[in-house]
Amino acid sequence: MIGKLKGTVDEIGEDHVIVDVHGVGYVVYCSARTLSNLPGAGEAVVLLIETYVREDLIRLFGFGTALEREWFRLLQSVQGIGAKVALSVLGVLTPSDLANAIALRDIAMVSRAPGVGKRVAERIVTELKNKAPAFAGEAMGTIGLKQELGEGVASGPITDAVSALTNLGYSRDQAANAVAAALKDAGEGADATKLIRLGLKELAR
């Protein structure tokens, strides 16, 4: 099994890159996001690899980070999702964005990925809601609050503050991040007005 490739970029295709390792070219399938972050032809590259072995083929999937590879595996634990759809999701959403969307039960955000309809997005959100926090990456600090909002169990002031900020045109994720930051300054007992004021300050930075 291949776990990592270190070589040079030979060619970048629509859905794959050919990595030259000591004269041997490996075809590695990647998400659109990973492909867009690759260096140019002839430059050094390192990709973490997930190897799929079937009776009739061996296929390599490449990732820039270990977290992205974990999400690739995690997405395929959802019924009806294979490698192609998992890569499609990761091409649109970073691991942190995906964890946030699942925590907030933001089906519209997940369904932005090509090939992911509302029904598939609902399955991703429902089946991964308890697993997402462990793979939140940069969103680790706010994922708990977002889960409470997604499940409708957040306190009244928090819910009201997030709602007020979204009514001003901010996304639910931006609003939740701002309120989470406001809570650190104001404390758990802060009312909605204070959270909104501090949240707006945070968003204006």
Q: What is the predicted pLDDT for the residue at 149?
A: 63
Q: What is the predicted pLDDT for the residue at 181?
A: 74
DSSP string, 170-190: --HHHHHHHHHHHHHHH-TT-
Strand partners, 52: 59
Digit-coded pLDDT (tens) for 165-181? 778 888 877 777 777 77
Dihedral sign of CA atoms 171, 91, 73, 122 in order: positive
Q: What is the predicted pLDDT for the residue at 167?
A: 82
Q: What is the predicted pLDDT for the residue at 53?
A: 87
Q: What is the predicted pLDDT for the residue at 184?
A: 67
Q: What is the CATH number of domain 4-63?
A: 2.40.50.140
For residue 201, give both structure tokens. Answer: 């300050």
For residue 159, give both structure tokens. Answer: 């819910």
Q: What is the predicted pLDDT for the residue at 177?
A: 74
Q: What is the predicted pLDDT for the residue at 24?
A: 94
**CATH superfamily placement of domain 66-135:** 5' to 3' exonuclease, C-terminal subdomain (1.10.150.20)
Q: Where are the domains of the chain?
A: 4-63, 66-135, 139-204
Q: What is the predicted pLDDT for the residue at 175?
A: 78
Name the pTM for this structure.
0.71
> Which residues, given as ranges, of the chain have pLDDT below 50?
none
Strand partners, 156: none
Our CA dihedral for 24, 17, 97, 126, rounded to 10 degrees, sits at -80
Q: How far apart are CA 92 and CA 74, in angstroms?
A: 16
Q: What is the predicted pLDDT for the residue at 162?
A: 77
